[in-house]
Amino acid sequence: MNLMAREGTPSDIPGWHALHRSLGIPYSKAEWPALPEMWHDLLSSGRLKLFLVEDRITRGTACIVSCCAAMFVTDDFCSALKSGASPFLGVQLVRRYLSNELPVLTRSEIARRNARDGLNLILCFEGPERGTLSGEHYLPLREKREEAFHLAMSGYQVKEFLINPIGELAYEETIDAGARLRCDFFHPDRESDQSSRDHLRSRLVGLTRKEAEAHPGSQLAGLFNYTPPRFHFSRSEQTLLQHALTGETCQDLAASLALSPWTVKKRWHTIYERVTAADGELLPGPIHNGPRGHLRGAERRRRLLNYLRQHPEELRPSSSSRSLQENNPVNPVNPV
């Protein structure tokens, strides 16, 4: 196997749906077809992060072997989860989606709570390929899953983390990583109970910031590391920087963001000005004239992107008034 971790996009939904279905979670006939629709809505609006691992060579083409979704939800929903009302988190979410009561935060809500007391993070809709869950492939897969999770979720101020592992191996993995059992849905007196079957045994586990601080050596404790952003980029600036981190050139950025080359150049200039105003030593000064001017520009970009890889909080929803206006414009217009 040759594994690669990355964030998912709407184009990954068919493969994600097939993997998630392999777990055998008891969705109803109405709920199964609603899942891709819900996922697309949430991904497209920035309310869901999909992180996945794909195998690049085993089957001759890229194939998703593991995936999971991350969302930020309300305090009330977290309380309901911990009350033990239902054994399957994904089933609860799709039912609330169908009844127009989805408890997932919007981007602007994420921005506000991220700057205040923090966010409730849930992981669900996982989809491991069973053939990679044991033997020689398991440790490489686990490493790449952790890498994908880090790429998607670092930089947020998390106050509580909840996940609904299905099956014994998934449960043991989360406990080994530092999570605590919140609710066990196993009922030995109910032979027909879906959650009592070994491969479907469902539990709710989680971790709070306070628990992570008391046991800082656990793997999941790192999820609660948070540094407030310094630069407060606008949403459009964050989007450009996120694309640049994938290796896109200025020409690529203009094409993928539907901008003119002049607008891309102007946006970079604004970004550099903002960074320099907050940290005058992070970037080299510009050279406006001469044959080496483009080399200095490339060095500024290299240094900034290296900083952002270590400080992903700069690319998360911001609570600055300018960013919130971008997220919720009073008179929306089409983007330039």
Model pLDDT for residues 268-280, shown as the tens digit of each residue: 999 999 999 999 9
pLDDT category, 114, cuts 50, 70, 90? Answer: very high
The pLDDT of residue 142: 84
- Cα dihedral: 14, 20, 24, 28 (round 10): -60
Model pLDDT for residues 126-177, shown as the tens digit of each residue: 987 655 556 677 788 888 888 888 888 999 999 999 999 988 888 998 999 9
Which range of 194-208, 241-255, 293-307 scores highest in mean pLDDT? It is 241-255
What's phi and psi for 176, nearest 5 deg?
-60, -30
What's phi and psi for 91, nearest 5 deg?
-65, -45
pLDDT category, 292, cuts 50, 70, 90? Answer: low
Model pLDDT for residues 30-79, shown as the tens digit of each residue: 999 999 999 999 999 999 999 999 988 766 677 898 999 999 999 999 99
- Residue 286, pLDDT above cutoff 90: no
Alpha-helix residue ranges (DSSP H) falling in the chain:
13-21, 31-44, 75-82, 89-98, 107-114, 138-153, 168-176, 209-214, 235-245, 250-256, 261-278, 293-310, 321-327
CA nearest neighbour of 200 among 141, 103, 130, 122: 130
pTM: 0.84
Q: How far apart are CA 143 and CA 135, in angstroms?
A: 14
The pLDDT of residue 334: 32
What is the DSSP pairing of strand 119-124 with strand 158-163?
Answer: parallel
DSSP 8-state assignment for residue 4: E
The pLDDT of residue 132: 55
Q: How far apart are CA 197 and CA 186, in angstroms?
A: 9
Domains of the chain: 3-224 (3.40.630.30), 235-327 (no CATH)
Q: Are 167 and 193 in contact (CB under 8 A)?
A: no
